[in-house]
Amino acid sequence: MEFLTNLSNGTQFALQLIIVLICLFYGAKKGGIALGMLGGIGLVLIVFGFSVKPGNPATDVIFTILAVVVASATLQASGGLDVMLQIAEKILRKNPKYVSILAPFVTSTLTILCGTGHVVYTVLPIVYDIAIKNGIRPERPMAASSIAAQLGIIASPVSVAVVTLTAFLLNANHHLENFNGYTDLLKITIPSTYIGVLAIGIFSWFRGKDLDKDPEFQERIKDPEFKNYVYGDSTTLLGKKLPMIQWVAMWIFLAAIALVALLGYYSDLRPAWEVKGVMKPLGMTQVIQIFMLLTGSLILIFCKTDASKIGKNEIFRSGMIAMVAVFGISWLANTMFSVHTPMIKEALGAVVTDHPWTYAVMLLLISKLVNSQAAALVAFVPLALGIGVSPAIILAFAPACYGYYILPTYPSDLAAIQFDRSGTTHIGRFVINHSFIIPGLIGVIVSCIAGYIITGLFGYL
């Protein structure tokens, strides 16, 4: 289509951006795996219509998602995840009055350990049961738990988002002095994430009306059938004697995470090869992929795990959907933005340089569009580095890659709504006024502020 290629760069960019946005919005509306597949429509239009050379899909990210998801799904199939949940439940039920603060810490910690926020599904029924049986408005811990679980991704040693961001920062043209990678990133993101989670918990403790003072709720439970539905039977793992083999599975998984973190901190422990006269150690992307596959194998072999159950559980299904989404969206974004980087740099470079917080806002919005932290980083960080954003700013505002709570379309948020039988966790009349928007904004903003301060304390800013 010669008439398209003869248009000015600005016009081509505008048309291509419209194509990308249509694919993103329609994909988000259809949900699930559609978001990734619709990237194919955008690629056809941009590559064949505008003769743009195809970019590169984020294969490292995709393969890392695959490896981590397989290991986590194997842990779930083995029953090892039940051990973690039983420990978490003991903590929560021992301190029911503080469930609004403790529950977000539990879900974010599970995410940090497992590398995926989808572990929250199994915690939400327990959180609801503790809240409703103690007269606590379920919306408080339920919404906070869902948000905190996703916020923990950027602080996980085995998350794709952490490995992806580390690789970009290490390969930046203006390398951060004394930033040596993986563990240096976690030194920033782990404390900043937990500070954000604490802020979510404190807000949630006071949000909404107490159930005994909520006239709408009190009116609804006058119906005996509804009251029985709301209070129902207890959901609990307490009192269940879990087989030792499940404990072994959990310890194998945790040992692998500890080993990955150790290899990330001590690069000398990794094998190295000569590249252009310089000895370069094995990258952390490959380390995580290797050890996650190893972890799944060990659990499968030594814990008598039924391999047929691995591909059927929630963690595996959700992970595969995420993998397809990252594949299609990252390929489309890379194809479009790479050819227009010089123009974007000229238009936005000065703005982002003078007002660094605008980088965080842009990343937040892109995250909402692609519904994935790893995909958002893949789509925007290379562009940000290309237009002159300081790697220190990208490091400080790492939590801004979580923005898909803005609209209540993400599976963990929808699950929280479904598990809250009282109806207090809800989507408002105007959609945007839902139970997750304020905890999400508080968590990300506080984490970014904390990240900025901690980054400065480490001397990167």
352-367 per-position pLDDT tens digit: 777 888 999 989 988 8
Q: Which residue did the predictor score with more confidence, 92 or 264?
A: 92
Instruction: Express each pLDDT in 384-398 by its tens digit.
Output: 888 888 899 999 999
Q: Contact 334/39 with Cβ under 8 angstroms?
A: no
What is the structure's pLDDT at 345?
A: 67
- Which residues, 6 or more positions from 301, have their beta carbon under 8 angstroms from its beta carbon? none
What is the structure's pLDDT at 401?
A: 95
For 145-163, what is the mean pLDDT? Answer: 92
Q: Contact 48/339 with Cβ under 8 angstroms?
A: no
Instruction: Express each pLDDT in 73-85 by its tens digit.
Output: 999 999 998 999 8
**Alpha helices of 355-436 — where are they, by DSSP H?**
357-370, 373-386, 391-396, 411-419
Q: CA-to-CA distance for 68 and 161, rounded, in angstroms? A: 12
Percent of the chain scoring above 90 in pLDDT: 38
Radius of gyration of the chain, Cα coordinates, nearest whole angstrom: 23
For Cα atoms 183, 158, 160, give the angle at the middle one, nearest 5 degrees: 100
- Which residues, 6 or more positions from 139, have their beta carbon under 8 angstroms from its beta carbon? 207, 208, 420, 424, 425, 426, 435
For 177-197, what is the mean pLDDT? Answer: 91
* Backbone dihedral angles phi then psi of residue 286, each to the nearest 5 degrees: -70, -35
Question: Is the pLDDT assigned to residue 140 strictly greater than 90?
Answer: yes
Burial of 448 by CB count in 10 Å (0-12 exposed, 13-18 middle, 19+ buried)?
Answer: buried
Instruction: Express each pLDDT in 409-443 by its tens digit.
Output: 777 888 888 889 898 998 887 778 889 999 999 99
Question: Is the pLDDT assigned to residue 28 strictly greater than 70?
Answer: no
What is the structure's pLDDT at 394?
A: 94
Q: Contact 71/292 with Cβ under 8 angstroms?
A: yes
Question: Is the pLDDT assigned to residue 88 strictly greater than 70?
Answer: yes
What is the structure's pLDDT at 349?
A: 66
Give 20-56 as a DSSP string.
HHHHHHHHHHH-TTHHHHTHHHHHHIIIIIS-PPP--
What is the structure's pLDDT at 383?
A: 83
Instruction: Express each pLDDT in 229-270 by its tens digit.
Output: 888 877 777 888 999 999 999 999 999 988 988 888 788 898
For 285-308, what is the mean pLDDT? Answer: 92
* Backbone dihedral angles phi then psi of residue 235, each to the nearest 5 degrees: -105, 115
Q: CA-to-CA distance for 217 and 377, rounded, in angstroms? A: 42
What is the structure's pLDDT at 60?
A: 78
Question: Is the pLDDT assigned to residue 87 strictly greater than 70?
Answer: yes
What is the structure's pLDDT at 31?
A: 63
Tokens of 432: 């945007």
Q: Which residues pair with 274 in a beta bridge?
A: 279
